[in-house]
Amino acid sequence: MKTPSVEIKPDRPKRLVMKGITKQYPGCLANDRVDLDIGPGEIHALLGENGAGKSTLMKIIYGVVKPDAGEMIWEGEPVRIKDPAQARQMGIGMVFQHFSLFETLTVTENIALALGDEARDLKALAEKIRTVSARYGMALNPERPVHTLSVGERQRVEIVRCLVQDIRLLILDEPTSVLTPQEVTTLFVTLRRLAEEGCSILFISHKLNEVKALCHRATILRGGRVSGACIPSEEEPSSMARMMVGDETPISMDYEKVLGQNVFLQVRGLNRISHDPFGVDLKHINLDVHAGEIVGIAGVAGNGQEELLAALSGEDTVENHDAIHFPSGPVGHLCPEQRRRQGLAFVPEERLGRGAVPDMSLKDNALLTGFLTGLVKKGMIDHAGTESFAKKIIKQFKVKTPNSETHAKSLSGGNLQKFIIGREIMQKPQLLIAAHPTWGVDIGAATAIHQALIELRNQGAAILVVSEDIDELFLISDRLCAICDGELSPIKPTPETSLEEVGQWMAGVFDPDTASAAVSH
pLDDT of residue 124: 92
What count of other Cβ atoms lies within 10 Å of the Cβ of residue 440? Answer: 25
Inter-CA distances, 159 with 96, 210, 469, Å: 9, 17, 19
Q: What is the pLDDT along the chain (521 residues), one digit of tens a residue?
A: 444 444 444 456 899 999 999 999 887 899 999 999 999 999 999 999 877 899 899 999 999 999 999 999 999 999 999 999 899 889 998 887 667 789 899 999 999 987 776 677 899 999 999 998 887 777 899 999 998 887 668 878 888 888 888 789 999 988 876 666 667 787 888 889 889 989 999 999 888 889 999 999 999 999 899 999 999 999 998 888 888 877 666 666 679 999 999 999 999 999 999 888 778 999 999 999 999 999 999 988 788 999 999 999 999 999 888 999 999 999 999 999 999 999 999 999 888 888 999 999 999 999 999 998 889 988 899 999 999 999 999 999 989 899 999 999 988 878 899 999 999 999 999 999 999 998 777 777 888 899 999 999 999 999 999 998 888 899 999 999 999 999 999 999 999 999 889 988 988 888 866 665 556 55
Please check whether residue 254 lies inside any domain of the structure: no
Whether residues 443 and 421 fall in one domain: no
Please check whether residue 450 lies inside any domain of the structure: yes
Scanning 119-266, the segments in alpha helix (DSSP H) are 122-135, 151-163, 181-196, 208-214, 237-245
Whether residues 205 and 336 fall in one domain: no
Whether residues 449 and 510 fall in one domain: yes
Domain C-terminal end among 245, 269, 298: 245
Please check whether residue 125 lies inside any domain of the structure: no
Domain of 421, in residue numbers: 352-428
Domain C-terminal end among 409, 428, 447: 428
State residue 79 phi and psi, 5-degree precision.
-150, 150
Q: Residue 268 and residue 5: Cα distance in Å, rounded?
A: 54
Q: How many domains does the chain have?
A: 3
Instruction: Judge contact between 297 and 322, C-beta under 8 A.
Output: no
Whether residues 78 and 172 fall in one domain: yes
Instruction: Judge contact between 198 and 168, C-beta under 8 A.
Output: yes
Whether residues 221 and 294 fall in one domain: no
Encode pLDDT of 59-86 as tens digits. 999 999 999 999 999 999 999 999 998 9
Whether residues 290 and 379 fall in one domain: no
Please check whether residue 438 lies inside any domain of the structure: yes
Closest CA to 349 of 235, 466, 521, 506: 466
pLDDT of residue 98: 67
Whether residues 181 and 49 fall in one domain: yes
Whether residues 371 and 285 fall in one domain: no
DSSP 3-state of 59: helix
Q: Residue 459 and residue 345: Cα distance in Å, rounded?
A: 15
Instruction: State the sign of the Cα–Cα–Cα–Cα dihedral 288, 291, 292, 297.
Output: positive
Domain C-terminal end among 216, 245, 274: 245
**CATH at 29:** 3.40.50.300
To 10 degrees, the CA torsion angle through 219, 220, 225, 226?
Answer: -40
Please check whether residue 159 lies inside any domain of the structure: no
Whether residues 504 and 457 fall in one domain: yes
The reply to whether the predicted model has a pTM over 0.85 is: no
Q: Which residues pair with 204 in a beta bridge?
A: 46, 173
Whether residues 333 and 462 fall in one domain: yes
Whether residues 333 and 456 fall in one domain: yes
Scanning 267-409, the segments in alpha helix (DSSP H) are 305-313, 336-341, 362-370, 383-396
Please check whether residue 333 lies inside any domain of the structure: yes
Instruction: Judge contact between 298 and 464, C-beta under 8 A.
Output: no
Please check whether residue 357 lies inside any domain of the structure: yes
Whether residues 232 and 362 fall in one domain: no
Please check whether residue 106 lies inside any domain of the structure: no
Encode pLDDT of 219-233 as tens digits. 999 989 999 999 999
Q: How far is CA 312 from the centre of its chain?
A: 21
